[in-house]
Chain A
Amino acid sequence: DTAVSQTPKYLVTQMGNDKSIKCEQNLGHDTMYWYKQDSKKFLKIMFSYNNKELIINETVPNRFSPKSPDKAHLNLHINSLELGDSAVYFCASSPLKGLAGVGGQQFFGPGTRLTVL
């Protein structure tokens, strides 16, 4: 069973379009995240949600809007796509910090490769 899943795996689209990436975790975790990995493999956190509430919002353009319909899902909607949005987007989840001694370990999805033409 996949712990953290993302769809689609690949997304190719034109500049100016609006697109969504979906993420689901079946681990019962309270916290979910979105990270962006650019072409140089640099990883940066974009958002985190704790039990459907936005906690971290790093300096991300407001064209990016995370949506958490329930604890198990955190979707990423991107409006007016730009060339610079091309990257691999990773979803992750973790249990509440301090629980079960797991050290705040984050479980990552397989990534969604977004290409904007």
Chain B
Amino acid sequence: DQQVKQNSPSLSVQEGRISILNCDYTNSMFDYFLWYKKYPAEGPTFLISISSIKDKNEDGRFTVFLNKSAKHLSLHIVPSQPGDSAVYFCAASVHNQGGKLIFGQGTELSVKP
């Protein structure tokens, strides 16, 4: 039972354009959402997060949007750079479940020069 789903295993984008990575979830109790970035042979690193009381959070080139009614969140990267090429994981948590993170399958982003 996959509570957090990333249905696109891969995405290819031209440098300078927008990258949009999508994530869907099924558990309406999730109240905090995060994106992690992972380079090959490295562990995931935290990128950006959003609380369920917000619908948008921006940090530089990265913006996360949350649509609670659709149980959907997305990560926008503008402009995309070759160094952004990595696997991006969406994650969610419920505070009364001890804060443990439930991750999606990941989307591999390739930004071509």
Mutual binders A and B? no
